[in-house]
Amino acid sequence: MQQRVITYSRNAFLPLTSVCRNRCGYCTFRRPVGDGCVMAREEAERVLEMSASAGCTEALFTFGEMPEQEAGFIDNIEKQGFSTVLEYCYHLSERAIEYGMLPHTNAGVLEYDDLEWLSEVNASMGLMLETTAEIPAHKNCPGKRPEVRIECIENAGKLRIPFTTGLLLGIGETESDREESFEVIAGIHKRYGHIQEVIIQNFCPKEGTAMERWPVIGSSEICETIKTAKEILPRDIAVQIPPNLADASRLIGCGVDDLGGVSPVTIDYVNPEHPWPAIDELKVIAGDRGIQERLCIYQKYIRKGWYPSALSDLIDKLGKDIQQRNEINSLNNSQ
């Protein structure tokens, strides 16, 4: 079987709030309620404008799960003119579209009605499964219960939302847990057909967390997990790794299809100590496989029409822009 060209999305990362109802044992993204705990509208506008000027096609909105459950948060979101973070996300998604970027929201677990509502202004959405195992790191995390996350992923399928999910490796799960997680994802996709990519993300310990001295897994183990994913997952699901967290050049040959969202403008706010590679560096990482830019919604779902009709013209325009950039890059590489 001929291997795919390695793909990536040029994105902007907007963390709307780090307030979260979960208390994961490995997370430094979460912050308590306080001044500045919500990204100001002026800052969000600045990032959107800069990112559009830099040729970004994806606006990635990420925030803590159901922050309204944390005391005092509502006062902070109201200062931005909204009653919930989802309302704020909807507004900024509309603004991203006006700037010429496709919104992709990763907001943790969402209820069916909220998924349906946000899908009106999103080209794609996502939620990491992380693991189907019950682990100590998720002890105080109501949104990390496997059955809760599985239900959310299934609901996205019922709504025909092009979706990203994935595993977080090395947080206390076993090899058989990983296999089970892939089997669950494969089963959901076979029922609904909406999972466009699965991220295989290695856990990186953070100072100041309960797991700051947790042992890390090596490239060989990550490689074996990628191979397992390729064996279990349907062939139309892309396997993705974050190029800022692992030795991506070494892992490409294990069966990687995609390098995910890479931003020329913003940092990885979940893993700020690990900077993105420059766009030009992705060519080196991809090696002989070659590298191509893509949209946050895969072509398969564009052909199916699994996106809001309001995004039709923008998807068409950005698709042509990317095709032109890919053709220019291919020509330059051949010279």
Q: Which residues are annotated as a binding site for [4Fe-4S] cluster?
A: 20, 24, 27
DSSP states of 268-280: -SSSTTSPPPPTT
Q: Hey, what amino acid is at 196?
A: Q
Estimate the crossing angle of helix 175-192 against helix 219-232, to 10 degrees. Answer: 30
What is the distance between the alpha carbons of residues 144 and 152, in angstroms, rounded to a whole number? 11
Are 251 and 229 in contact by the 8 Å Cβ rule? The answer is no
Q: Is 264 exposed, middle or buried (0-12, 13-18, 19+ CB in 10 A)?
A: middle
Q: Which residues contact 65 (CB under 8 A, 6 or more apart)?
A: 20, 21, 22, 107, 108, 109, 143
Percentages helix, strand, coil for the chain, rounded to the nearest 5? 45, 15, 40
Are 131 and 177 in contact by the 8 Å Cβ rule? The answer is yes
Q: For 71, which DSSP code?
A: T
Binding residues: 20, 24, 27
What is the distance between the alpha carbons of residues 141 and 10, in angstroms, rounded to a whole number? 31
Are 13 and 272 in contact by the 8 Å Cβ rule? The answer is no
